[in-house]
Amino acid sequence: MNKFLIVLLHTYLSRIKSKSFVITTAIFLVFIIALANIQSIMELFDNEETDRIAVIDETEGITEQINNQLSSNESSIVLEEFNGTKEEAEEAVLEEEFQGVLTVSENEENLPEAVYSSNAQTSTRIDGQLRMQLQQIKEAIALNQAGIDAGIMEDIYAPVNFETEMISSGEGTGGEIKTEEELSGARGLVYVMLFLLYFAVITYGNMIAMDIANEKSSRVMEILISSSSPVSQMFAKILGIALLGLTQVGLFIVVGYFMIQTKKDELVGGFFEYFGLADASLATFIYAIVFFLLGYLLYATLSAMLGSLVSRMEDVQQLMMPVILLIVAAFMVAMIGLNMPESSLITITSFIPFFTPMSMFLRVGMLEVPFWEVGLSIVIMIATILILAFIGARVYRGGVLMYGTSTSLKDFKKALQLSKKE
């Protein structure tokens, strides 16, 4: 068997069999399943909780009107007529029989007014809803008193007809916004992709650096590099971990997909639609995969290079700091860009290699970007990966033979020196 494959398989299999991997994956899967069932779970807790409000009604039928409106809004608030004085009602609230007391009366203009009293801090949600319902009833009554008939009232309250339209200039200039549906679909995908890339770089980048540092600190490295070339080992590691990542993320996606399939009825109209994954175009999906892989490779190569400089496990975190900061910065920029994809910040960062996978994907997802721009950014990324791989391979070759406690840029130079002829 090819030695590259041996290292790759060893990296992959020894990781996938490890306890920590199995446990993290299991936790994530539980999380995904819980997320898909979030509505059932919330209902489980919600069922018991109707907010009962005692009403002392000095008017005719307003309680009923409010109740009708509340139930048509699927609100958890239920009004109950209270036969007794206000003091008795307040007593009942203190005994936690009711959430609060609503006293409804009519003023001299025959318009309803109300006092809501409760002992709980959290009642703003309830009194807000009650206020809104009462407001509507009051408006209806007032309009009715002014002699405006129901047909006109309907016209007043009907939503205005408002549509957005795109002005197309024939050829894409890089600044066009997609239609609203496409945009929200893209936004959802961009969101998911940003998180996935962020998660992948931090998790798997760290894993690569740790793996290499582990081989160095246990000093098995010298045997390894005497049997196969350090450069092919480095790439076997990067791809081995990538395969591991794909296994893990793939597992999440498969489980997520099945959960969505079984829970389709509940989820349609829920957060699934909000993210609009269903509307995203095929091109966006392909770009997502391309930028995800390129982004991973870029950061993984950087991590491998840095990992080779460390000789103790304790120093890995310290050296990984710049990588983490970079990905956090890229993530932040992209998050800002979600709301203003046309800003020059996003345009510029979409051509800076470490930002490209996030910023450029955001642009292709949400705007019409001319193909040459996307192509250019991909070429820049591939070039950067190759350059990093070239430098990384040399640093790796020297770095793995270097043992010491310090972790600084000096080591970087030393490693390069070790790997070349003087």
| 325 binds other proteins per the rule CB under 8 A | no
Residue numbers 385-404 binding other proteins by CB under 8 A: 398, 401, 403
The piece of 152-160, 223-231, 290-298, 346-354 that touches other proteins (CB under 8 A) is 223-231
Q: How far is the CB of 396 from other proteins (least distance, A)?
A: 12
Cα–Cα distance between 115 and 226 in angstroms, integer? 84
123: contact with other proteins by CB under 8 A: no
Told to check if 410 binds other proteins by CB under 8 A, we report no
Partnered with residue 57 across adjacent β-strands are 104
Q: Does 3 bind other proteins (CB under 8 A)?
A: yes
Cβ atoms of 100 and 93 closer than 8 Å: yes
For residues 404-422, b (16+ Cβ closer than 10 Å) or e, as one string?
Answer: eeebeeebbebbeeebeee
User: Which listed residue (7, 280, 385, 395) binds other proteins by CB under 8 A?
Assistant: 7
Judged by CB under 8 A, which of 180, 227, 362, 406 binds other proteins?
227
In whole angstroms, give the CA distance from residue 100 to residue 123: 8
Interaction of residue 134 with other proteins, rule CB under 8 A: no
Nearer to other proteins, 83 or 218 (CB): 218
Binding of other proteins at residue 221 (CB under 8 A)?
A: yes
* 1 contributes a contact to other proteins by CB under 8 A: yes
Residue closer to other proteins, measured from CB, 363 or 397: 397
Task: Let me know if 316 is exposed, middle or buried by CB neighbors in 10 A (0-12, 13-18, 19+).
Answer: buried
Report which secondary-structure segment, H or E, holds 378: helix 371-399
Q: Tell me the C-alpha to C-alpha distance, in Å, between residue 47 and each of 36, 40, 44, 199.
A: 19, 10, 6, 36
Q: Minimum distance from CB of 218 to other proteins (Å)?
A: 5
State the number of binding residues for other proteins (CB under 8 A).
28
Site stretch for other proteins (CB under 8 A), options 134-142, 226-234, 252-260, 355-363: 226-234
Q: Under the criterion CB under 8 A, does residue 215 sit at the interface with other proteins?
A: yes
Does 229 bind other proteins (CB under 8 A)? Our answer is yes
Selected from 20, 218, 339, 405, the binder of other proteins by CB under 8 A is 218
Only segment of 7-15, 120-128, 140-148, 314-322 that touches other proteins (CB under 8 A): 7-15
Which residues, listed in sequence order, are joined to residue 56 by a DSSP beta bridge? Answer: 103
Q: Tell me which stretch binds other proteins (CB under 8 A): 4-12, 45-53, 123-131, 269-277.
A: 4-12
Please report the DSSP string for 281-329 in residue order.
Answer: -HHHHHHHHHHHHHHHHHHHHHHHHHHTT--SGGGHHHHHHHHHHHHHH
**Whether the Cβ atoms of residue 342 and residue 245 lie closer than 8 Å to each other:** no
The separation between the first and the last C-alpha atoms of the chain, rounded to the nearest angstrom, is: 35
By CB under 8 A, name the binding residues for other proteins. 1, 3, 6-7, 10, 14, 215, 218-229, 398, 401, 403, 417-422
